[in-house]
Structure 1
Amino acid sequence: MRQTAINSQEKALIVVNAVILAGGRASRMGGQDKGLVRFNGQSMVAHTLGRIRPQVDSLVINANRNLDAYQALGYDVIPDENQEFMGPLAGILSALNHLNDSILLVVPCDCPWLPLDLVSRMQACMGDSQTDIVVASDGEQEQPVVLLLKANLAQSIQDYLDAGERKLGAWYRNQHFSVCAFTDNPDAFMNINTHEQIAQLSTRSHLS
């Protein structure tokens, strides 16, 4: 593993697709479908779409319920191939099997302030061909569900899930990965997990 801090934007040179993960149980949100929870006048997933869509070539949403509501946003919606709520790796695997290009951006549905230069900086951090995964960091902690990864990892994920494993961080630490530090914009990875946080953060319309 190597950690890299990039402070300038790099123009994307290859096709990058994205998946927004909205397939969890959202237990801390009382089981409510977190991606559809309203925050500052929009659904959570709509905030994420607004941040990510301009940065990628195509985008899908991973969801396991309320599929019609997600499809109404105008994007392909793909559920987990296994309907047992197996965690974010199951959603990533479904996206990799759906999108055939070489690079996939993974983001959660509950981070409404993701960096507007997320993709270009993570691509720059990917650098040489030996790196298969880039994990975002706020400068102090890795953000395990903000990833840039290569499509050839689908079989590795399948084998990991088949072995009964679920932890995303433990999986990528066994791959060739690097960390991309966004020390200049750490609050961009703030996620919203509870209704109390929605109330507390409702006046915070955006971050640069």
Structure 2
Amino acid sequence: MAEPHPSGVAGLILAGGQGSRMNHQDKGLVALRGEPMVAHVARCLAPQVGRLIISANRHADRYARYGEVVADGEPELGAWQGPLVGIAAALAAASSDEWLVIAPCDTPFLPADLAARLVGAAQAAGAPMAYAVAGGQRHSACMAVRTSVLPALLEYLRAGDRKVGLWQARSGAVEALFDDAPAHAFMNVNTPEDLAQAERYASQ
């Protein structure tokens, strides 16, 4: 199957978390090898998509250096409501695209073919979304989603649900296998200890 053309694919970096395990720092702006983590994610994801969106609820001016910033959430849903609220905001912003490829701001070592393989897996299965699986481990926040799922996502959120995995299961999401990716390709930098490990990986 031919790879999707980036012009029909938008990218989203999720940067709306509270960073509770990183001493409440804004994780996307935590330095890794002298650059904010969001810079590492953007450098990987931007060439794979036609436009790059960043979902954030603070430091919008700093994030704007790396992409188009959208506020994380809707007034009716409240703040700090988890990644799905940020995804909903980005889906609305990317309505002219067919697909939205999503990655968290704390995954600095993503595969260079992430978007193509996620979208390709969903297309091959006739599914509205696909999420990454590597070495038997599910990485739900690394996913490709058809932008047409926005109304159903908003309905799910307004019902009070926030779990990413449950939404994916109800929506018919499929796996995209990345078993050939490096062991740290989907590493989440959640804690200072993770950051120290990421520094070691980045220096290799």
| TM-score when normalising by structure 1 | 0.89
- Following superposition, the deviation at residue 21 of structure 1 comes to 0.1
**Which consecutive unaligned segments of at least 5 residues does structure 2 have?**
none
1:86 pairs with 2:81: yes
Shift of 1:128: 4.1
Letter in 2 for 1:34: K
- Say which of 172, 178, 199 aligns to 2:174: 178
Question: Is 2:4 aligned against 1:12?
Answer: yes
* Whole-angstrom distance in 2 between the partners of 1:206 and 1:155: 43
Match of 1:137 among 118, 133, 140: 133
Per the TM alignment, residue 41 of structure 1 is displaced from its structure 2 partner at its CA by 1.1
Sequence identity percentage: 36
Partner Cα separation in structure 2 for residue 74 and residue 180 of structure 1: 26
* 1:147 to 2:143 alignment: yes
Question: Higher relative CO (CA 8 A, sep ≥ 6), structure 1 or 2?
Answer: 1
User: Which AA in structure 2 matches 1:126?
Assistant: A
**Aligned amino acid, residue 33 of structure 1:** D
Say which SS state the counterpart of residue 201 (structure 2) adopts. coil
Q: 2:163 aligns with which of 164, 167, 172?
A: 167
Runs of 4+ in 1 over 4 A off after TM superposition: none
Q: Give the match for residue 188 of structure 2.
A: 191
Query: Is the contact made by 1:113 and 1:206 (CA closer than 8 Å) also made in structure 2?
Result: no
- Spell out, residue by residue over 1:119-139, the C-alpha distance to the aligned partner (whole angstroms, 9 max, x if none): 111222122473101111113
Mark the CA change 1:40 to 1:74 in structure 2 (over 3 Å): closer, same or farther.
closer
Q: Which of these residues, 38, 50, 66, is aligned with residue 45 of structure 1?
A: 38
The answer for the alignment partner of 2:201 in structure 1 is 204
- CA RMSD, 1 decimal: 1.7
- Deviation per CA, 1:165-191, whole angstroms, max 9, x where unpaired? 110111110012210110011420011
Q: Indicate conservation of the 8 Å contact 2:132/2:177, yes or no.
A: yes
SS in 2 for 1:188: coil
Larger relative helix fraction = 2
Bigger Cα displacement from structure 2, 60-69 vs 124-133: 124-133
Partner of 1:4: none
Equivalent pairs counted in the alignment come to 198
